[in-house]
Amino acid sequence: MEVRIVFPSWSCLVKLPRRDVLVFSAMNAEMARTRPGALRRGDVVAVVAPAAAVERQYLERGVAILTALGFRVRVSKRALERDRILAGSDRVRAGELQGFFADPEVRAIFVARGGYGCGRLLPLLDFNMIARNPKIFVGFSDASFILGALVKLGGLVCFHGPMVAMDFARGLSEASLGHLRALLSGELDGFELEARETLHSGSAEGELVGGCLSVLVATIGTPYQLDFRGRILFLEDTGEKAYRIDRMLVQMRQAGILGQVKGIVFGGLRPVDDSEQERNLIRDFVAEATAGLDGPVLFGIEAGHGTENFTIPLGVHARLDGARRRLVVAQAAVSPR
């Protein structure tokens, strides 16, 4: 199988001093996030299946792309197991994920696919051990459960980005794949993503957190709910009707969450039937649910479901520029090796 990959040049680099630990101050609380080490060609990267069952053909296609990038790929031994709709039992999936964090040879962990099941693993994970063994972790969708817990409980910078048996297998654009490689290798000291629209103007900066909207709503009231105070909130989702998007945003607003953040940026919000009418309804509901907040609200960056899915680091400092319709990440997300 021949895989040809071309990486584009990048003109949006921002040079900043590098630090292994990023420190934020919000609501009088100091927080430190550990940046994982940068990836190099020849590094060992792991593929884990913490959620729904994985199809072999898609897993193999995605692994071929990672191999073509120059990495030595180690797939979890039980990645193709099935337990009802899941990729093995909760303890098996949690054990394989935790084992990769403990393995000193593994430099990065990529999620095979989402779907459902990551939230079931959180009580089974040792986040103190994970914090002592920081690694690049890449995934999105249902993996937002793990992304949020790694930021909050593990104190790690992690990566909302494409998954091996999904996005990689179906074919990432050259721009998206090049962005991922440059971000994880430390070649990017910063980047910008343009939104389609500014729903509410202004500018703001803070720690970037978030992920799949329905997953974040599912964590409300649990020990895994993110600290939203003073943050820049990123939201995306898929397969939801407009009224369900509205219901979740109303819940977040009534819970006081939307009033705590400094700004919000929305990625893909792909409706269940992909209809233009539903898309327009979603946009209107988002504008209404976020009206009157203190910070800017941007809509439609190329991140998440139904987009090019550019990788976004979570747990880093970011800025929203409503006038320019930009999400700006102005620091490296990995530490040099």
Which residues are catalytically annotated? Answer: 141, 236, 305
Task: Please list, in sequence order, all residues whose beta carbon lies within 8 angstroms of the beta carbon of residue 132, skipping any fewer than 6 positions away.
Answer: none
Distance of CA 110 to the CA centre of its chain: 11
Distance from first CA to last CA of the chain, Å, rounded?
32
- DSSP readout, 257-312? STTT-SEEEEEEEE-TT--HHHHHHHHHHHHHHTTT-SS-EEE--S-STTS----E
Task: Please list, in sequence order, all residues whose beta carbon lies within 8 angstroms of the beta carbon of residue 188, skipping any fewer than 6 positions away.
Answer: 10, 13, 179, 182, 332, 333
- Cβ atoms of 162 and 137 within 8 Å: the answer is no
* Residue whose token pair is 């654009």: 173
Task: Please list, in sequence order, all residues whose beta carbon lies within 8 angstroms of the beta carbon of residue 219, skipping any fewer than 6 positions away.
Answer: 119, 145, 148, 225, 226
- What CA–CA distances, in Å, run from 120 to 117, 220, 245? 6, 15, 23
What is the bridge-based pairing of β-strands 21-26 and 29-34?
Answer: antiparallel
Q: Where are the alpha helices (DSSP H) in the chain?
A: 56-68, 90-102, 127-132, 144-152, 169-170, 174-185, 213-218, 242-254, 276-289
Between CA 87 and CA 120 the distance in angstroms is 12
- Cβ atoms of 295 and 262 within 8 Å: the answer is yes
